[in-house]
Amino acid sequence: MELRQLKQVLVLAETLNFHRAAEQLHMAQPPLSTSIKKLETELGVLLFERLPSGLKLTPAGEAVLHHSRRTLFCADEIRRAAREGLSGEQGRLRVGIVGSASFSLMPCIIRSYRREFPGVELHIEESTTSDLLRRLDEHTLDVALVRWPVLEPSKATITLLQRERLVLAVSSDSSLARRDDLQLAQLGSEPFIIHSRTRVPTLHALTLYAFQSAGIQPPIAQEAVQVQTILGLVEAGMGVALLPESVCAHAGSRVVFKPLGGLSDTLLVGTAVAVLTDSVTPVARHFVEHVLRIIVPPQDSVALEG
């Protein structure tokens, strides 16, 4: 068994097509087929089902894929450690962020981090909390800024950095924009734009819990993934939305944010830093330490291990 074969399994599992996998691996298709067949013979299992419609991973293939990712990650870390030493002051850092973090914490963190560690090559990717935690578990990210509270299962250690309240986003030409005494319980007939149930389950569930606590069941006009999309739909007059208050300073002039009465003190959201402590790189460890140094976590917060 060789590392190149594990890399081939990884690419083939992503494409489920020998021809496309061979192109990505910069090799001909017949040698790739032969290499995979030799690995299957060595392991004594079938990794891929050959179907008329393409390839399908077998249960054994799923298990091999999981360990292949970890093995290739460790191999990359050996190469990185050999090149960079253990200082953590040079190298590459893959940081995942949720969209809402880009409004508040991310600019401050990245600016100060780049000043302190100019030799680190930053790769920043935006996605949802669910996807970022999955990618941490798969070792395709080193550290992530995620939305808190976290409902998704994960092996990551998650430390809360910042808490904030939910506020109501309304179009500037809405009659609600001129009111200062809004209660969530009064908004049962207002159409709401809410976060996606499948892609942003935490904020989706928190919004529904807020409705339930207020005793309302408002119509859901649209689900969306990114904060900017929700703001655009609110601005278009499609509905109102519950959003973290950090978004307020970064929305257009045609969206107005109103504080809401009747929201429970437990209905808070926040931003947290997530990292796999059992396989953290020196560069990622310095990043987390830097974040915790410049962003003072709430005093009653704890690091949660998924």
Q: Which of 220, 272, 275 is nearest to 244 (CA)?
A: 272
Does residue 305 have a pLDDT over 70? no
Instruction: Output the pTM of the full model.
Output: 0.68
pLDDT digits (tens, 9 = 90+) for 200-226: 888 999 999 999 989 999 999 999 998
**Residue 111: which H helix or E strand, with range?**
helix 105-116
User: Per-residue pLDDT averaged across 229-251, rounded?
Assistant: 90
Q: What domains appear along the chain, each with residue ranges and CATH number?
A: 3-82 (1.10.10.10), 88-306 (3.40.190.290)
CA-to-CA distance for 141 and 198, rounded, in angstroms?
A: 21
pLDDT cut 70: percent of the chain above it: 93
Cα-based torsion angle of the residue sequence 161, 166, 172, 174 in order, rounded to the nearest 10 degrees: 170
| Phi, psi for 179 (deg, rounded to 5) | -105, 145
What are residue 122's DSSP bridge partners? 93
pLDDT digits (tens, 9 = 90+) for 54-69: 889 999 989 999 999 9
Structure token pair of residue 53: 């419609």
pLDDT digits (tens, 9 = 90+) for 18-41: 999 999 999 999 999 999 999 999
Does residue 259 have a pLDDT over 60? yes
User: In 3-state terms, what secondary structure has residue 232?
Assistant: helix
